[in-house]
Amino acid sequence: MRTFQVELKRVVDDSYEIEIGFELMDKLIEDLKAGLVGSIRRFAVVTDSIVKELYGDVLLRKLREAGFAADLFFFPEGEKSKTRRVKEQVEDEMLAAGCRRDCCVIAIGGGVVTDLAGFVAGTFGRGVPFINYATTLLAAADASVGGKTAVDTPLATNLIGMFNQPKKVYLDIATWNTLPPRQISSGLAETIKHGCLGDEELFVFLEHHMDEILRVEPAACAYIAEANCRVKYQVVMKDEKETGLREILNLGHTVGRAIETVSDYRLLHGEAVSIGMVAAAKLSCKLGYMTETEAARVKNLLAEAKLPTAIPDYIDREELVRKLYTDKKVRDGRLRFVLQQGIGHVVRFGENSYAAPIAEDAAREIIMEM
Task: Give the DSSP letter of residue 142.
Answer: I
Number of H-type helices and E-type strands within the chain: 14, 12
Toward ligand GLY, which CB reaches closer, 72 or 267? Answer: 267
Binding mask 60-99 for ligand GLY (x = CB under 6 A): ----------------------------------------
Q: CB nearer to ligand GLY: give 322 or 331.
A: 331
Task: Compute the distance between CA of residue 276 and CA of residue 253 in angstroms, rounded to an integer.
Answer: 6
**Cβ-contact 104, 128 below 8 angstroms:** yes
Per CB under 6 A, contacts with ligand GLY among 207-246 are 246
CB of 131 to ligand GLY, least distance (A): 18
Q: Which is nearer to ligand GLY, 71 or 142 (CB)?
A: 142
C-beta nearest to ligand GLY: residue: 249
**What is the rounded CA–CA span in Å between residue 261 and residue 158?**
11
When the beta carbons of 81 and 144 are compared against ligand GLY, the nearer one is 144
User: Looking at the chain, which runs of residues are DSSP E strands?
Assistant: 17-21, 42-48, 69-75, 103-109, 130-134, 148-151, 160-163, 168-172, 336-337, 340-341, 345-346, 356-357
Closer to ligand GLY at the Cβ: 31 or 250? 250
**CB distance 107 to 118 below 8 Å:** yes
| CB 231, min distance to ligand GLY, A | 11
Considering the complex, state which of residue 70 and residue 141 has its C-beta at the smaller distance from ligand GLY.
141
CA separation for the pair 333, 212 (Å, rounded): 44
Q: How far is the CB of 126 from ligand GLY (least distance, A)?
A: 24
- Counting residues that bind ligand GLY (by CB under 6 A) gives 5
The rounded distance, in Å, linking the Cα atoms of 72 and 57 is: 8
- Per-residue string for binding with ligand GLY, 151-190, x by CB under 6 A? ----------------------------------------
DSSP SS3 for 180: coil
Q: How far is the CB of 181 from ligand GLY (least distance, A)?
A: 23
- Least distance (Å) from ligand GLY to the CB of residue 39? 31
Q: Among 25, 169, 249, 367, which residue interacts with ligand GLY (rule: CB under 6 A)?
A: 249
Please enumerate, as own/partner, the contacts of 231-235 that have beta carbons within 8 Å and a separation of 24 or more.
231/194, 231/195, 231/197, 231/198, 231/199, 231/202, 232/141, 232/142, 232/145, 232/146, 232/194, 233/145, 234/198, 235/198
Residue 193 sits in the site that holds ligand GLY (CB under 6 A) = no
Residue 70 or 131 having the CB closest to ligand GLY: 131
DSSP state of 248: G
Comparing CB distances to ligand GLY, the nearer of 149 and 309 is 149
Q: How far is the CB of 7 from ligand GLY (least distance, A)?
A: 31
- Near ligand GLY in 134-153, by CB under 6 A: 142, 146, 148
Smallest gap, in angstroms, from Cβ of residue 166 to ligand GLY?
Answer: 13
* Alpha carbon distance 135, 113 (integer Å): 10
Q: Which residues bind ligand GLY (CB under 6 A)?
A: 142, 146, 148, 246, 249
